[in-house]
Structure 1
Amino acid sequence: MEALDRFSPEEKDIIRRSWKVLDKNLNNTAYNIFEMIFNQSPDTKQLFPFMKFQQSGKSKEIEFHGLRFMQVLESVVKTLDNPESLNPLCDNLGRVHGRLSESRGFRTHHWGVFIECTLFHFRKVLSQDSYFHRMETLDKVIINWRTILRLLIKQMKRGFNTDIKNRQASRDLEDNNKASTSSSPISQESCSLAVPGCGSMMSQSLTLPTINNNNYRKGSDSRRE
């Protein structure tokens, strides 16, 4: 998030001022953002199997998750002068989404849907404020928020890609181990008497011819004579 250092003092002030407006009705805004995400991209519902999508009335699960997302944005606002402190948080969020990509089908294009739905409702709320209702001011703050969201996603993608690479490396290692343990043993046909463990070959090589007992006795008798 180091790129936030490029924000001018004026841009930081307008972001902080906009957050004060958004914070007044944070629950509804958060809920509306995620409701729009689910409507625009229904496949995102599979990412939240614990949520109850009701036909009427608000889902407490959606509202709760929406507020968690808003807490991340609040952290961004509070650290505009020290944005690198957000890197561990973004990295962890990226890794979480990396796990979701494997377990619940998360795709990186979902982040694009998330950005557009967030900006839509931010604009809707801010346009009702006496300071931001002017088009020029409103456009300026929305552009700044778009930059923030893109930087946030960019930092999260680093953790996301790291998690994906680590998972692939673990799978490759596991496959190699399985291949090693399941390799065929040395063929017994290539064994010689000097190689231990080839019991059947040794038994064949060391088998002595059967001695005819009668011949053996005759030979013994002839020696007596």
Structure 2
Amino acid sequence: MFSSWFKRLDRGLATPAGRIAQLICGSLSRSLVLSAHRRVPELSSFVARTNTCGELRSSHLGQEVTLCGWIQYRRQNLFLVLRDFQGLVQVVIPQDESAASVKKILCEAPVESVVQVTGTVISRPPGQENPKMPTGEIEIKVKTAELLNSCKKLPFEMKDFVKKTEALRLQYRYLDLRSFQMQYNLRLRSQMVTKMREYLCNLHGKGDACVFLGAF
């Protein structure tokens, strides 16, 4: 069975379309290797955030930033961890009376709710750094907060170490797409299709590119 499949594959690669596919794959592999060493592209002008949760480092100390993300978890109403597609960052919940409204939003919002926070990047206290987190040397001292979307009770926890059955993941596909692996898969697929379109448009024109990509 496998031998006949490989013969059909060889015949397919011998066609003009097959040769184009080989060239695309080679171009894609080189582009993806190079893109792995590049900085994440600038954020869309349509979003309110200034940075992503996973990119903040000690080099950002003192900067005022606006972040949007899901509430990953909360600890004793003192800290919460905010998550987006790029990573996690710790947020300090203000405890003073002047920021009571901010504290109320961040303490009462259910886990997995979407919030927007604005604050200053500060160093974590000595001894409280988390070497397991890329952002473990810093945290965000919040000034303002806004609840963008409150989350209802979920059928499973949105943590990568929590095992879910395939049936449950497919039933709640819109939730499964929040996971790190699925986010990575979607972005990788988008990059590959973009490179395919760029290659075909530059080499054969837009019309041929659309026809060829219709086979994928």
In our comparison, the structure showing a higher alpha carbon Rg is 1
Give the TM-score taking structure 2 as reference length.
Answer: 0.27
Structure number having the greater helix percentage: 1
Structure number having the greater strand percentage: 2
Higher relative contact order (CA 8 A, sep 6+): 1
Give the TM-score taking structure 1 as reference length.
Answer: 0.26
